[in-house]
């Protein structure tokens, strides 16, 4: 993860191409470039790993959120029951992987508590139609779209005020919902416009940004341009109120009085978005949000102007302290972690009447996030995953169970499992196969570089389950196409199963496309004559 270059530059010098000069931070071209990046890259941003998403889309965090949302539903049915489905809107849903894990868990919770799954409607949102199209084509989502559990809508955090569901054609606008709306925002608010101020001796200045690059901007793509930016800040005193909304202005005035000399990011855009979403329901909103950010006042004060963290797009730290104060100023309640986080903070805002009466919600948050939560999980996986080459089989299985059959963690374990395969007993092989199937059933393919189906097929071949291996090689072909290695392995499975005509057919096709493939020719020659 790189940072853009900050420092002085002289826009009059021929070495620089000036992109903008002395603009308000929240109005900078930075945000136009951010939107252009995601519009251009679409799903490829997550397939390639350019944009990090594992920490907020793994099974553990998704199941944690599902437990809290279901507890919230139980609270609402006790306090103010409604026949209408509870709408769960995920902002900037990205790859869709979080939603997949969330809905798997939600289905299980509904079955366990004899609650109809139709009590919920999960809405995937993004500002670009390309992502909505990709979700609607994904085979893992198909049954949920068809049942009405899942829908999708265009939504722009900067200005949208309604949700037009593209599958059901339902329009959710001000006052439509009887249940409070549930809003999920993971790795969203770190990439939308923020305001930037500088405070000293209770005097506030607005930070203006200038952008330049040493390469002609029309000659590079957006990701490269973001990475090569030179940034300069100038400061102008504020002589009038910044915001027309009283609650935002009051928050800003509090910071002016409380903070020492410091830079400060202020999430006005995000808070306005939440205000618009809250208005869709007669009964308020539950927000669950995870991001790199902080919820304590001391950490809001930045000694220097913020650096842009670059990862294809860019991101900034989120001032969750402002979210908490915004909620409490309006009679809401904020739930925040008890401990300092290492990678992500996860907060909940209950923006509704009598938030303290939502006892199950508060208990679920405390148990699943505050005491030990997704940040702790991620911290431990970063520590334990490098130990995989030394783990024994029973330890790897325990680790995979603890991570809730996490495909990302299985990928790290496969080389060790392949090394252990010849030593496994029949009982251990049976355990391995059950775990592999469990991981695959909870896997949301993105077409990423690592072909998990192929790897699982190879592992099953190593333990002698050729029929089961064929199933995964077929999945590999369905997702990645008929690559030579996969086709050879399919033929080898048919050979081991004694299905020689099928092996011959596959090898003939492979040799026609790869005439120099010596392994294929050798296996073909070794097949019994028809």
Cα–Cα distance for residue pair 106/150, rounded to 1 Å: 12
Q: What is the pLDDT of residue 2?
A: 45
375: tokens are 């940040």
**Domains, the chain, ordered by start:** 43-192+271-373 (3.40.50.150), 379-526 (1.25.40.10)
Buried b (16+ CB within 10 A) or exposed e, 328-350: eeeebbbbbbeeebebbbbbbbb
Q: What is the pLDDT of residue 35?
A: 84
380: tokens are 């431990």
Task: List the one residue out of 280, 324, 315 whose CA is nearest residue 56.
Answer: 315
Per DSSP, 369 falls in state I
| Region of poorest pLDDT, from 48-62, 329-343, 447-461 | 48-62
391: tokens are 């783990």
Q: What is the pLDDT of residue 303?
A: 84
Confidence class of residue 220 from pLDDT cuts 50, 70 and 90?
A: confident
Which SS3 state, helix, strand or coil, does residue 90 take? strand
Percentage, residues of the chain above pLDDT 70? 95
Confidence class of residue 8 from pLDDT cuts 50, 70 and 90?
A: low
Number of H helices, E strands in the chain: 21, 20
Q: Provide the residue count of the chain.
A: 530
Q: Could you read off the pLDDT of 436-490 as tens digits, one per residue?
A: 999 999 999 998 889 999 999 999 999 999 999 999 999 999 999 999 999 999 9
Q: What is the pLDDT of residue 1?
A: 38
Q: Could you read off the pLDDT of 111-145 as tens digits, one per residue?
A: 999 999 999 999 999 999 999 999 999 999 999 99
Decide: 407 and 452 in contact? Cβ < 8 Å. yes
Cα–Cα distance for residue pair 124/103, rounded to 1 Å: 12
Cα–Cα distance for residue pair 359/347, rounded to 1 Å: 16
Q: Could you read off the pLDDT of 421-433 as tens digits, one per residue?
A: 999 999 999 999 9
Give mean pLDDT, residues 8-36: 82
Task: List the one residue out of 190, 36, 101, 84 whose CA is nearest residue 408.
Answer: 101
Confidence class of residue 379 from pLDDT cuts 50, 70 and 90?
A: very high
pTM score: 0.94
Q: Is 148 left (phi over 0), alpha (psi -120 to 50) or beta?
A: left
Q: What is the pLDDT of residue 310?
A: 67
Question: How many other CB atoms sit within 10 Å of the CB of residue 450?
Answer: 12
Q: What is the pLDDT of residue 361?
A: 98
Q: Is 30 left (phi over 0), alpha (psi -120 to 50) or beta?
A: alpha
């Amino acid at each position: 993860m790189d940072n853009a270059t900050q420092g002085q530059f002289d826009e009059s010098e021929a070495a620089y191409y000036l992109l903008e000069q002395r603009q308000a931070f929240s109005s900078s071209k930075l945000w136009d470039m951010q939107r252009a990046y995601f519009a251009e890259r679409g799903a490829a941003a997550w397939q390639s790993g350019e944009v990090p998403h594992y920490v907020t889309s793994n099974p553990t965090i998704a199941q944690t959120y599902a437990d809290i949302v279901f507890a919230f539903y139980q609270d609402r049915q006790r306090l103010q029951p409604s026949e209408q489905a509870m709408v769960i809107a995920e902002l900037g849903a990205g790859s869709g992987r979080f939603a997949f894990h969330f809905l798997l868990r939600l289905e299980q919770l509904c079955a366990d508590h004899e609650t109809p799954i139709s009590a919920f409607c999960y809405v995937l949102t993004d500002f670009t139609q390309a992502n909505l199209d990709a979700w609607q084509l994904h085979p893992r989502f198909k049954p949920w779209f068809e049942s009405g559990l899942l829908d999708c809508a265009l939504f722009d955090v900067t200005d949208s005020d309604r949700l037009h569901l593209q599958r059901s054609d339902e329009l959710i606008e001000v006052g439509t919902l009887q249940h409070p709306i549930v809003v999920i925002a993971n790795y969203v608010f770190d990439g939308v416009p923020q305001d930037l101020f500088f405070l000293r001796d209770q005097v506030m200045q607005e930070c203006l940004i200038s952008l330049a690059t040493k390469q002609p901007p029309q000659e590079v793509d957006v990701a490269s341009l973001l990475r090569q930016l030179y940034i300069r800040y100038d400061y102008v005193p504020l002589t009038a109120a910044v915001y027309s909304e009283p609650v935002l202005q009051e928050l800003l005035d509090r910071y002016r009085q409380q903070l020492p000399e410091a830079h400060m990011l202020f999430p006005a855009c995000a808070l306005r978005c939440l205000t618009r979403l809250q208005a869709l329901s007669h009964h308020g909103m539950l927000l669950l949000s995870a991001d790199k950010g902080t919820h304590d006042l001391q950490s809001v004060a930045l000694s220097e102007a913020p650096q842009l963290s670059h990862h294809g797009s860019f991101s900034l730290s989120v001032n969750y302290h402002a979210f908490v104060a915004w909620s409490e100023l309006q009679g809401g309640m904020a739930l925040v972690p008890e401990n300092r986080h290492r990678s992500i903070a996860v907060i909940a805002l209950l923006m509704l009447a009598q938030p303290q009466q939502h006892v199950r919600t508060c208990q679920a948050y405390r148990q699943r996030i505050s005491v030990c939560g997704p940040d702790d999980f991620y911290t431990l996986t970063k520590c334990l995953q490098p130990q995989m080459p030394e783990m024994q089989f029973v330890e790897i299985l325990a680790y995979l169970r603890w991570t809730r059959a996490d495909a990302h963690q299985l990928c790290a374990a496969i080389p060790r499992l392949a090394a252990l395969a010849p030593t496994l007993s029949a009982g251990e092989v049976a355990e391995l196969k059950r775990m592999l199937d469990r991981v695959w059933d909870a896997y949301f393919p993105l077409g990423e570089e690592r072909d998990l189906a192929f790897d699982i097929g190879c592992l099953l071949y190593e333990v002698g389950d050729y029929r089961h291996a064929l199933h995964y090689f077929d999945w590999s072909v369905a997702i990645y196409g008929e690559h030579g290695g996969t086709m050879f392995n399919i033929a080898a499975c048919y050979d081991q199963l004694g299905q020689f005509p099928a092996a011959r057919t596959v090898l003939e096709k492979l040799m026609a496309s790869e005439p120099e493939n010596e392994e294929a020719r050798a296996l073909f020659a070794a097949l019994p004559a028809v």
